[in-house]
Amino acid sequence: MTKIGLEIHCQLTNLESKLFCPCKANYREYEPNTNICPICIGLPGSLPRLNQKAIEKASMIAMALNCSTPEKIAFFRKNYFYPDLPKNFQITQLNIYGDTSIGGLGYTMVGEKKIRITRVQLEEDPGRLIYEGSSSKNQTTLVDYNRAGTPLVEIVTEPDFENPKQVREFLNILSDLLQNLGVSDPSLEGAMRADANVSIEGGNKVEIKNIGSFHDLEKAIHFEITRQESLYSRNIPIVQETRHWDDRRKITISARSKEEELDYRYFLEGDIPWIRIDKDTQERLQKEMPESISSKKDRYVSKYGIPAQVADVLSSDKFYSDLFEQSHNEKNAKEIANIITTDLMGLVDTREKREQSKFTSKHLEELADAIQSGKITRNSAKNALYEIVKTGKDLTQIIAELDLGNVSDESEIEKIINEVISQEPQAVEQAKKNPQTINYLVGKVMQKTKGKADPKLTLDLLKNKIK
Amino acid sequence: MSLRISALEYVQEVQNGNISAEDYVSKTIEQINNVDENLHAFLQINSEAIDNARQIDKKIKSGKNVGACFGMPISIKDNICIKDSKTTCASNMLENFIAPYDATVISKLKQQDAIFVGKTNLDEFAMGLTTEFSAFGPSRNPWNLDYVPGGSSGGSAVSVSAFECLASLGSDTGGSVRNPASFCGVVGFKPTYGLISRFGLISYANSIEQIGPIARTVKDTAFILNMIAGLDPNDNTTIDNSNQDYLLGIDSGIEGKKIGIIKEMIGEGIDSAVMSATKNAISKFQGLGAVCEEVSLDMVKYSVAAYYTITATEAGSNLARYDNLRYGYDFPVEGYEFNSYISKARRKFGPEVTRRMILGGFVPSSGHAGKYFLKALKVKQKLTQEIDQLFKKYDFLIAPTVPVLPFKIGEKIDDPVALFLVDINTVTANLTGKPAISVPFEISNGLPIGIQIFANSNDDKSLLQAARALESTVKLPEVPI
Ligand SMILES: [Zn+2]
């Protein structure tokens, strides 16, 4: 049986400051080496100053993953030399000397499959290396420390995945969960990274590092399984090792053995005293935690009768579910869920589009009201939404400007119906024989009214005419 | 006007208008110019000190609020950062490092209108106990220029002893404040771990070290402590001392207090002069109404080994940042890859630092940690349990600060093991986090002997009272400088 385990790193991008200093946690908009201070570049004499908020947010992640949460946690130093590491050690957590990481054993469900979580720990992100020059001979390495010290949560799973598809599903669930907790925006570049370990029946465990995206992760796991199976079938032993994902060639390559010999000389970080997260604090955090995705979904279904599939889509994306929460009431909930999932999601499907769009929750309320009171058709509503997203104008203004108001005047619709009947004698004959085909004629009426005719009224009138 | 006054006397004199800050600071600089060529207490002199003093005099005359120091000249060990000035740690590695910020202790003293006359010499990165391991040459003992002043805060102790300042700040990782204070005949205090912020102190072994004042009297020590102690948001290990006034009630005496004499610190290898001084100190304490008896601290025999294991481990990590990439000395990177570059760059570390870094790479490494580092932590833990047990019964513990007299420069520099044993009586306070103070007590053959008093954590105030009581029984001869 194939066994796959993951090691996921997720930045707490929504925090104001870095893990141990006042620099911004969201470093992305800065010129290289301008989001730094004596602490995060490790100047002599500087000391880490723990960001308590990071402890709370990481605790929430541990709780959301059903992990055990020790009352006392500690930080350790992981010692190794690397140019992206300003102090040449990383402040991280460790469970060798007792469970002192922020989260212990836990689990999360992927459908019916239970994925066990080994631990959750809080640590600092290193800086970023930028390589310049083509060949290794004339290569220059540039270092940008803007990222150094960003709060990073490491989530390690047991090797419970059986195939890449499960891995992908898990990562989607995890990504939604982190977003829903309001601790991170996984869509930001580099905010969520993952390494994997893969072993097949009868073979050793192989770790794959250096994977740039979740898309590549899936490919890397695929490649690794195939590679191992091919070795196994030829009776070649599978070596326990670390392999790097080659982004260009889409294969894994054995890492130099030197790297495996690294001895991190872990020991307790004396500059940060033990941190107590007592029962009271844990209870408070539990209360402060946003409603979980599954609870939201259940509520949408049971309270508003929203179809399970729609509720699923709506609840798992924090952006849309927040929007829904802000705009809905008992009466319009179903309509708003419908507008969001069938129309809005298509209009603002990227981060840029979301940020540029001008609509508010108030727009959604008005739109739902207009549909429910028959002021506009669903079809026109879709056009209006397009305009709202683009301009942010008032709905009434848009209805007037684009002439989207419903035609519900009987005589006017009758006039158009008469036109259609005279133009489509064949269709009329057919509708008489087979009532199902009357929809074709309704469509024609809609076409002539640019979708503004009240569809129910149109149908009733048409039926009367061609009985 | 004499330079030979205490810090508190200085404050009195300036307040009474008998002397001006400018007068005193100018004379201090003059003294430095006269004696420091021989003593080498300073690595750097603040050229603006006299100007600063003049500013403070102006402030005093104009009736504005003046800080408690009134322009008092203070020296600072060169491992504590002062903004916009060089902080070298007496190492070629940081020869040109200019600190972009003030240590917390520095900003606190600035607020109180202290004047920093200069940065003082130390063993490179505070690793040593003679100041001979300074990359810029040793300091000399003012009592006898042929002798070491102790270390690693040797320059600080010398500067206080030789009237080159009124007080100094050193740092104490295993005795680095108390040892040179003892060798130079001044007071040196290592507070409870966490009482003084370490922000801006360049780390050597951060889990056990503290900044500590060195002064000519116990009262001066308490006066300095009042200004620099307490909680600091920039150092998560600091403790809230509720703004205690350490001067208040300092003359309370020690009548009825119980004192334990640590047997393991007056055992084998102790100099007979030191032993007799210790006996004299005991009878003085008894004369003051204290009850003294011998006690045992069994783990002391392993304390030096544990101390070197822990400090080497932390040093290996704390000093790893000196890879010459972000700051350091001029050494171009072209033609090197990362590992070969830093190994070459790090050759600027001196022999003692290199020795401890190599040790620090070994003792906590996988496969060896169980035998060395983890065992050292166990000794630390057991030693702390033992001393906690003693403090349930005793108010104070005493021992000589150093079991031997100051020795000649060069005498022990090639014998690291002999040097290590000089630490035996001081490392316990660091490993257990307890406060300890060295009080100058006797002069033997023209060389000072200090007596060390320990107290329980957070009993710093009563410790200073005990030290003051002992000090009041002592009258030392003048420093021959
Ligand atoms: Zn910073």
Kindly report, residue by residue over B249-258, the tens digit of the pLDDT. 999 999 999 9
Interface probe for B, chosen from A19, A21, A36, A43 (most Cβ of B below 10 Å), is A43
Q: Which residue of B has its CA nearest to A265?
A: B365
> Which are the catalytic amino acids of B?
77, 152, 176
Q: What is the CATH number of domain A410-465?
A: 1.10.10
Is B199 an interface residue toward A (CB < 8 Å)? yes
Distance CA B368, CA A196 (A): 30
Q: Among residues A190, A153, A128, A163, which one has the least CA distance to residue A61?
A: A153
Model ipTM? 0.95
Q: Among residues A62, A198, A169, which one has the least CA distance to residue A109?
A: A169
Residues above pLDDT 70, as percent of chain A = 97
Name every residue in A having a CB less than 8 A away from some CB of B: 38, 41-50, 77, 79, 81-83, 86-89, 141, 143, 263, 265-268, 270-273
**Nearest-CA distance A138 → chain B (Å):** 9
Residue A269 Cα to ligand 1 midpoint, Å, equals 18
- Least confident range from A287-291, A347-351, B275-279: namely A347-351
Helix (H) or strand (E) holding B386: helix B373-393
Instruction: With cut-offs at 50, 70 and 90, classify the pLDDT of residue A408.
Output: low
Question: Which pLDDT value is given to residue A464?
Answer: 83
Residues of A in contact with B361 (CB under 8 A): 265
Tokens of A391: 């301009």
Residue A127 Cα to ligand 1 midpoint, Å, equals 11
For chain A, the average pLDDT equals 90
DSSP β-bridge partners for residue B116: B74
Residue B332 Cα to ligand 1 midpoint, Å, equals 26
Question: Which pLDDT value is given to residue A377?
Answer: 80
Q: Is B316 close to A79, i.e. CB distance below 8 A?
A: yes
Residues of A in contact with B80 (CB under 8 A): 45
Q: Is B234 close to A49, i.e. CB distance below 8 A?
A: yes
Helices (H), ranges, A272-344: 279-288, 293-304, 308-316, 318-327, 333-338
Is B336 an interface residue toward A (CB < 8 Å)? no
Q: Is A263 close to B365, i.e. CB distance below 8 A?
A: yes
Q: Is B81 close to A41, i.e. CB distance below 8 A?
A: no
**Numbered ranges of CATH 1.10.10 in chain A:** 410-465
With respect to CATH, is domain B7-250+436-471 assigned 3.90.1300.10?
yes
Q: Which residue of B has its CA nearest to A37?
A: B100
Instruction: With cut-offs at 50, 70 and 90, classify the pLDDT of residue B69.
Output: very high
Question: How many C-beta atoms lie closer than 10 Å to residue B76's C-beta?
Answer: 30
Q: Is B202 close to A50, i.e. CB distance below 8 A?
A: no
Chains A and B: how many Cβ contacts under 8 Å? 99
pLDDT in tens, A313-351: 999 998 899 989 988 888 888 889 988 998 888 888 888
Omega before residue B152 within 30° of 0, cis: yes
Helix (H) or strand (E) holding B279: helix B272-287
Nearest CB among A88, A267, A273 relative to B323 is that of A88
Instruction: With cut-offs at 50, 70 and 90, classify the pLDDT of residue A373.
Output: confident
Instruction: With cut-offs at 50, 70 and 90, classify the pLDDT of residue B33.
Output: very high
Nearest CB among B201, B320, B326 relative to A45 is that of B201
**Nearest-CA distance B235 → chain A (Å):** 6
**Nearest-CA distance A237 → chain B (Å):** 28
DSSP-based three-state secondary structure for B404: coil
Sort strands B258-262 and B291-295 into parallel, antiparallel or unpaired.
parallel
Distance CA A101, CA A423 (A): 76
Question: Which pLDDT value is given to residue A135?
Answer: 66
CA B311, chain centre distance (Å): 16
pLDDT in tens, A297-313: 999 999 999 999 999 99
Question: Which pLDDT value is given to residue B128?
Answer: 95
- Please state the length of chain A: 467
Tokens of B129: 């106990």
What residue ranges do the domains of chain B occupy?
A: 7-250+436-471
Cβ pair A96, A89 in contact under 8 A: no
B249 Rama class: left (phi>0) / alpha (psi -120 to 50) / beta: left
Average pLDDT over residues B210-215: 98
